Amino acid sequence: MMKDAAGQILYVGKAKNLRNRVQAYFRKESKTRFQIDFLMRKTADIEYLITDNEKEALLLENTLIKKNKPRYNVFLKDDKSYASLKINSQHAFPGVFVTRHIVKDGSLYFGPYASASALRQTVDLVTKHFRLRTCSDHEFANRSRPCLEYHIGRCTAPCVGKVSQDNYAKQLEEARLFLGGQKKELIQRLKTKMKEASGNLQYEEAARLRDLIGQVEETLEKQKVVHHQGKDYDAIGFALSPTQIVFYVLMVREGVLLDRQRFVFPKPFQTHAEFLSHFVLQYYGRLLEIPFEILMPQKIEEAETLAEILRERSGHAVDLLVPKKGERAKIVKLAIQNATNFCKTKIDSFETLLKNLQTILNLSQSPRIIECVDISNLQGSDAVGSLVCFEEGKPSKNRYRKFKIRLTEGPNDYAMMYEVLLRRFRRSEEWPPPDLLLVDGGKGQLQIALKALADLGLHNQAVVAIAKAKKGEKSDKIYIPNRMNPVSFRSNAPELLYLMRIRDEAHRFGITYHRQLRAKKLTLS
Ligand code: SF4
């Protein structure tokens, strides 16, 4: 998932070798492709999820695109889900249908089939071998004679009572075994039926069943079906970094890995088991739909109590399981793998970045929470101050604030900055100050910020200024107190890029507000 600076997903893709794929985007020859070049310029972050196989990756990609509607996924934005095969088992004579909507209506679902041809083939096999009806319920109810399907031996014509409900139920059961890939049981049933038919001297029927057994064996060798009948479950995995704990919840619905949720918390004081149970309760406490099974990486003491709470909440039994082998154990492993991978790549590198920033900027504490203040105006008119906040590397939007400049008249950036900082920091008691204050501008703005903080008696508030690179300069500059020259960073140093990202976000936030004010004024005029 390629994201812009504001965290908005721009593009969702999948690849067997993600490293190669992403590198390809950055290669020179890619630059000739305007779309990629544009996307790369906007991409500030790349997030990824490991799946077990291609099919999962495909389905997950589809789900993510549908959910997020990224701007650059032009070909997959349509609202088509993958088709599945549905047997509406509530009807007295259920038929076989293709559907793109899976609803919990008691019907049997098989698939999903990623290709339309695979689905067509399956429908063809089911009708040919098991002779289930394919007509709509309306057509079924209004037939007085069987249709062509009956005459070519692909339906037993329940519409006009040519087959009893019991016999049709047997056909249905065989189709279910076939679609579910339960080869052994199906072959056994068909063989018994063949013997019975031959014993009753029904040689034609016995020959049909013999051919059917051969075809079923051949087909099931090739066909791989994902069950839709399995219970829905979530698999939880977690991993720890030196400072944080990351949870991944993988959601498996009707046998398909549909989505994932990730949660990052500061490293807890509790034991892992305690925190896991705390997480389960918090996470499922706010959900309306709780799966039948929650798979966990380790046992928790209060499992029974938790299950009870969740049962009351969901209205159905919820099992909290720690699978040791099989598919379920694999999916828990996958959740852990995703969490570990996130810790290794994102968190560890972010911790290094924070450490480096602390050292380079000479800060007394790690800058986990950074606020940035920017001023936007047009020749002093409709001036606004914007304040954005980044917490642990991410925008913390509930801490964003806008300030309409009240006291300053005319285009005086310093006075405006002073006013905004005074208004923000005089509320330091109810509004905790950040670990680092970043002001947009050069040495002048830094001096103003220091004065505002000093006037409020906040001598320990860490503050630095970020100034845009002038013509001929390689990178933006960071000014720190008590130092004439800016701190030197490589132009592509992650520490500098991080501060620039925060400044750009403050700028974006301020400009949007400024434009709103101007538009309002113009409309009024
Ligand atoms: S024969 Fe009757 S039940 Fe079978 S497909 Fe035709 S209309 Fe439907």
Is the C-beta atom of 163 inside 6 A of ligand 1?
Answer: no
Average pLDDT in the 151-171 region?
91
The atom of ligand 1 lying closest to the CA of 156 is 4
How far, CA to CA in Å, does 451 sit from each of 427, 457, 481? 17, 10, 11
Centre of ligand 1 to C-alpha 108, Å, is 20
**Residue nearest (by alpha carbon) to ligand 1 atom 6:** 147
Centre of ligand 1 to C-alpha 133, Å, is 5
**Residue nearest (by alpha carbon) to ligand 1 atom 8:** 135
pLDDT at 188: 83
* Three-state SS at 370: strand
The lowest-confidence range among 35-39, 271-275, 301-305, 445-449 is 35-39
**Is the model more confident about 82 or about 176?**
176
Is the C-beta atom of 135 inside 6 A of ligand 1?
Answer: yes
Centre of ligand 1 to C-alpha 125, Å, is 16
pLDDT at 354: 92
Pocket test for ligand 1, best of 159, 160, 171 (most atoms within 8 A of CB): 159
Find out whether 85 and 110 touch, Cβ atoms under 8 Å: yes
Pocket test for ligand 1, best of 130, 144, 150 (most atoms within 8 A of CB): 150
Centre of ligand 1 to C-alpha 203, Å, is 25
Is the C-beta atom of 146 inside 6 A of ligand 1?
Answer: yes
Is the C-beta atom of 97 inside 6 A of ligand 1?
Answer: no
The rounded distance, in Å, linking the Cα atoms of 432 and 424 is: 10
Pocket test for ligand 1, best of 140, 142, 162 (most atoms within 8 A of CB): 140
- What is the set of domains in the chain, with CATH numbers? 2-68 (no CATH), 83-222 (no CATH), 233-348 (3.30.420.10), 369-524 (3.30.420.340)
Question: What average pLDDT does the chain have?
Answer: 82
Is the C-beta atom of 95 inside 6 A of ligand 1?
Answer: no
Q: What is the DSSP letter of 227?
A: B
Is the C-beta atom of 137 inside 6 A of ligand 1?
Answer: no
pLDDT digits (tens, 9 = 90+) for 25-48: 777 664 445 557 777 888 889 999
DSSP structure string for 14-60 = --SSHHHHHHHHHSGGGGGSHHHHHHHHH--EE-----SSHHHHHHH
**Residue nearest (by alpha carbon) to ligand 1 atom 5:** 133
pLDDT digits (tens, 9 = 90+) for 461-512: 999 999 998 888 888 999 999 998 899 788 888 999 999 999 999 999 998 8
Torsion angle, alpha carbons of 75, 81, 83, 86, to 10? -170
The rounded distance, in Å, linking the Cα atoms of 334 and 235 is: 9
